[in-house]
Structure 1
Amino acid sequence: MLSDLSWLALEAKYLEPARTFYEEELGLTVGERGDDELVCAAGETDLVLRRPQTLPRGGIHTHFAFAIPETEYDEWWDRLAETYDLEEAQFGPARSLYLYDPDGNCVEIGQQDVAGPGIDGVFEVVLEVEDLDRATEFYEYLGFEIVDEGDDRKRVRLHGPMALELWEPHLGIADARGGVHVDLGFETDDPVAALEAVGDRVQSVERETTDEVVVRDPDGHFLTFIS
């Protein structure tokens, strides 16, 4: 139903430190820029950095993951370790490093099957939810499928346009937390069909046209379905 992650929006108290981190430290290209928002290209997904001036706000303390080619990992580690206190985790044969941006978002950079060079997509986003069963069911109606459930019963991992982790409040790897009031954009062939799949479960419908639907999920995260 949902084909691609179009954007992930984060809240930035001040745009310049956020720009410096993502453009100069992580090598993302800044495209659109306004007084209260700038957009960085992370492969096919936009990373939107937004000051808290209007709704939707960007997510705060959001944990998400950038994809890099497997062969680049050691170079990324060596370079970032000169400045940041990194943590590392291993998932099967793949390694990921973790660091924090200026606004307290936990940024994972992990080995994935991508072309690169450099960051080539967002492959995971973590949302904080109040009721894990309710949130899981909501995203299953949008076509996500459960692939893993945490032993502590505080998290569920789903597969869709990207990996989506739903966390009840707790600290994960590198003391990461799930994001609050995160703004996600998804591409789909039929935005209205996506709304119909979850219409009786959303917190609100913010906008509805044939080409774009904006809703708030049961935990207040903004979801946009665009064709």
Structure 2
Amino acid sequence: MQPALDWLALEVKRLDRATAFYRDHLRLDVARETDTEVAFAAGETDLVLRRPTGPPRGGLHTHYALSIPRTEYDAWYDRLAGTFDLDEHAFGDARSLYFYDLDGNCVELGESDGEGSGVVGVFEVVLEVVNLDRAEDFYTALGMEMVDRGSERRRVRLRGDGFDLELWEPQLGLADARGGVHVDCGFRYPDPEAALETVEGSVTSAERLGDGIRVRDPDGHSLTFV
């Protein structure tokens, strides 16, 4: 079964400054808050900002994409263009704009046909990996489907339930984006134990928590099956 994305965590240096950035520029609402992290609601996914106090850390220089309604895209572009040097790209009939947050993460806002207003979800996360074949085998074992492969076989795009996961060997992508390192994600499964069984021989660590199972993939990314 394909996993859904429960959360994506980013590492930030100053929690107050990063919180203000996402609240003011992306107009996200705070879902929960502690002394060390703030979680924003982005559709069905939480976008978590986390100070580096211990593992799992949030991701560094992570490229990820947020969905916005097609009818609001031009308004988003006009508003953000006054503050950021936006980089725009089209994928078929869908447009995306790219800019950077205060901690070096590349934020993409992409048109979608979904209902709602503002940011309505997270539709893509990019991870940096050392061995592309190994990483592809790992994530397809977790139920993700390969949908696209880079012409030079340095990246692969996998599909989960409502989001895509891109695996990149070290490189610069559009807008000079990079895949994230030590990214922390939550994956929703009907049966977390069954998900663990599919990759138990490949993970570098596994820990059962009160609300799920946390594993570390071969490239050091933290995944929690909930």
Structure 2 alignment gaps of length 5 or more: none
Paired position in structure 1 for 2:18: 18
CA contact (8 A) 1:206 1:216 kept: no
SS at match of 1:95: strand
Tell me the percent identity.
Answer: 62
Paired position in structure 2 for 1:128: 128
With the length of structure 2 as denominator, give the TM-score of the two structures. 0.97
SS at match of 2:78: helix
SS at match of 1:65: strand
SS at match of 2:27: coil
Paired position in structure 2 for 1:92: 92
Where in structure 2 are the equivalents of 1:20-169 lying within 5 Å?
Answer: 20-161=20-161, 162-169=163-170
CA contact (8 A) 2:63 2:107 kept: yes
Q: Runs of 4 or more off by more than 3 Å in structure 1? A: none
Supply the RMSD in Å over aligned alpha carbons. Answer: 1.1
1:202 aligns with 2:203: yes
Offset of residue 10 of structure 1: 0.2
Distance 2:146 2:180 in 1: 19
SS at match of 2:96: strand
Distance 2:200 2:51 in 1: 29
Paired position in structure 1 for 2:183: 182
CA contact (8 A) 1:186 1:223 kept: yes
Distance 1:223 1:144, change over 3 A: same
Aligned-partner residue type, residue 87 of structure 1:
D
Offset of residue 4 of structure 1: 1.7
Paired position in structure 2 for 1:6: 6
Q: Number of matched residues? A: 225
With the length of structure 1 as denominator, give the TM-score of the two structures. 0.97
CA contact (8 A) 2:3 2:143 kept: no
Distance 1:103 1:207 in 2: 31
Structure 1 alignment gaps of length 5 or more: none
Summarize deviations over 1:81-131 as a string: whole Å, max 9, x none: 000000011101000000000000000000012112000000000000000
